[in-house]
Structure formats: structure tokens, C-alpha cells
A = this chain, B = another copy of it.
Amino acid sequence: MRCDVVAVGTELLLGQIVDTNSSWLGEQLSLAGIDSHLQVKVGDNQARIVRALRSALEDADAVIVCGGLGPTHDDITRESIAEVMGAPLELRDDIAQRIESMFTARGRRMPANNLRQAEVPRGAEPIDQRRGTAPGLICPVGDKVVYAVPGVPYEMTEMYERAILPDLLRRAGSAATIRSRVLRTWGESESGLNERLQGVIERLEHEGNPTLAFLASGWEGIKVRLTAKAGTADGAASLLDRWEREVRDQVGDVVFGTDAETMESVVLGMLKDRGLTLGIAESVTGGLVAGRLTNVPGASAVLRGCVVSYASEVKFDVLGVERGPVVTEQAARQMAAGARRVLGADVGLALTGVAGPESQDGVEPGTLCVGIAMPDGTETSSTVRLPGTRDVMRQLSVISALDALRRRIEAGT
């Protein structure tokens, strides 16, 4: 089964918007075992959309078209598909009424333009709109099919999962349910993970299901993704459970979370479970650690606050660090203790380092010292060397420091 993608919109060609839809679809299709060999961006021009669709249908069994379903005159995906089908557009009363009622519910009058969104090529089936005003379309072309979805990612992804993927799997004659699980890791290279998982990988290759893939995700670490196929969702889940255990048996120490969990949500959750509050002192990262933690809804139950001690005097005067060099493990421990005390927190986490481009007090760019102060007053510290430009080094510092805290909490309070 091969399903290509056509993204429609002149703004994509002009680089005003980056086409992330086809990347997302490519990943989802490959998870489902469907090839996507060609992905095309084309402008709001009917002749060129029609040509791109015809060309894609020559090689692929299915084509997903994203975008061009809006109400304005340059939204011409419906017309283009109708031309490829050789079918007229027909106004569907039921769709028109639903769109009108969406406007009414918001106390607004529906502009006449929006009626265009109720047009469906004869022989096509609409896909209910749940998040926007534009319905999607399932359009048979001979024994092949063109799917149309809105270009808004939030509307597109929902329609893909609800209507398109099941239809594709049905056409592929596959009754399989596909589920994947991501184990998020930090602290081991891709080749290191590969080596430690060699035995698991060989057994998986032998069995063929689930499959295992590494996804390097920069300063978010490396993801290990298991994808299982089974007759039922429960069957897939139990396969994933079993192989997740196998993977954790080998590399459990570097797995910090699964699926949508992030390092910050995991650390906040661990502290919350233990009834502990957190205070932070940051220098090199300048507020990024606190900024990321506070992006998690509910962070206020754990995080008391943060002192960004960018100037050395703030470290001395506010946090009580001894005067002297400030990129040292001792300074990091004293900053952590200061954060606990000043912010009235149970646990203190501190970062001091050099992001560059220049060295500071003889300390090279890329150096990060992390200090942790625990409720019983014990203070620990560590030093890591991080690569990258200023921005990359700072981002790597954030996740490195949070991972150090995660390990410290796991080691026992």
C-alpha cells in the first residue's frame, strides 16, 4: 500500500509556513506499514493541483491532500478533486446546516462564502468536521482514493486518526491494530543504546513484531519507539508491555518517561508524589529551567520559584554563595542551598556554567556544574561537559540538570 501526500497552499511555497503536516503524515503512515514515497507542495492554482493529484495517483494507491478547504476564493482543493474525478460539486444541505449552526452557536452570522465548504464532489463521502468548519472528503478515483483534509494541523490530525487511517487499513485488507509506545531516554548515545539493546533488537528482528526504532531528538534526548501490530488493541498493548519490560531490563537507568511525558513533567510528578516543593537557582540557563517547568499545568503545586543569579553579586548577596569563583561545584551547592532557604522550598536545584562563546574565569564554554540540596540538608554536586553553540549548550544544561535531580530523588530522599 502506498499513500502519497499533496500539501496545498501558496504560503507553503513562499516559505511563510513550513509544511509540517506531510512530515507528521509520513511518520503516521510508516507506523501503519504504509509507504509514502512522494510528498509534494503545490500552490493555490487549480491546474497545478490537478496535475499534482493525477501524477501522484499514477504511482500511489491513495493520496492525502492537505489544505485548500477553506471558504475563500483561493481555496480550490474541492474543485480540483472534482476535476480529477470528472464529477460535479454538489451542495449538501446537511453540511450547510451544520456549518451555519456552528456560527449561530458563537452568536455570529455565517458569511455566504462558507457555503462553499458544504460542496462535495458527486460520489465522494464527507468526513465530519469536529474541530473546524471544513469537512474532509473521501473521494474514490477508480480503484484508488483521494482524501482531503484541512491544513490546520489540529483539524488534520484528528480526521486522519478517526477516518483516514481506518479507511486506508480497510483498503489494504489489514484488520490489524497498530499501537506504538515511546520510551524517552537521556544520558546515553544512540550507538550506546544500540549496543546495550543488541540482544533485544536481534530477537525483535527474528520475531518481526513489534519493531524498534531510535529517534534522535536533540536536546530532548533519544526516543526508543516500539510499534506493535495485533488483531486487537489489547493484543497490541500486551505485546508493547512485554517488550517495554525487555527494553527496560537493559537500559532502564536512562529511561525517564514514556510517550507524552517530558523530563519536566516527570520531575514535577516525582516531587509532587513525595509532597516536596522545589526552589531553583540558575545562572548559565538564565531562567530556562523555571520557564520549562512552569509550562507544565499544575507546576505551582511544586515549584516555589527561582532566583536567576546572572550577576555574581546576586549569587553572593541573595543566595549566600561565598565570594570567589562562581563556576564551581561548591558554588553550585551553595546556590542550591540558597534557593532552598530564600524560596522556602524543600529541595534546591542549582545550575552554574559557561555557555560561551568566551571562557569565563578560566572555565571553558560547555562546562555545567549542577548542585542539589535535599530536605535533610545534604548537598551534592556534579560537573558535565556539554557540546554545542550557546543556545544548544543552555538547552542541554536544562535537561541535564533536571535529569540529575530525577536520579537524586530516585536514589532516595
Contact = CB atoms under 8 A, between A and B. Distances in A.
Given A15-B23, A48-B37, A290 B305 contact: no
B18 A20 contact: yes
A295 interface: yes
A314 B344 contact: yes
A30 interface: yes
A243 interface: no
The copy count of this chain in the complex is 2
Interface of A: 12-20, 22-28, 30, 36-43, 45, 48, 52, 55, 215, 277, 280, 282, 285-291, 293-295, 297, 299-300, 303-311, 313-314, 317-318, 342-344, 357, 390-391, 394
Given A282-B287, A343-B318, A304 B311 contact: yes
Nearest to A42: B38
Contacts of A300: 310-311
B40 A39 contact: yes
Contact of A290 (B286, B304, B357): B286
B307 A305 contact: yes
A269 to B, nearest CB: 17
B299 A294 contact: no
Given A297-B357, A304-B314, 8 more contacts: A13-B39, A40-B40, A280-B308, A286-B293, A286-B303, A295-B391, A318-B342, A318-B343
Interface centre among A28, A43, A343, by most chain B C-beta atoms within 10 angstroms, is A343
Interface centre among A19, A22, A291, by most chain B C-beta atoms within 10 angstroms, is A291
Interface centre among A41, A43, A314, by most chain B C-beta atoms within 10 angstroms, is A41
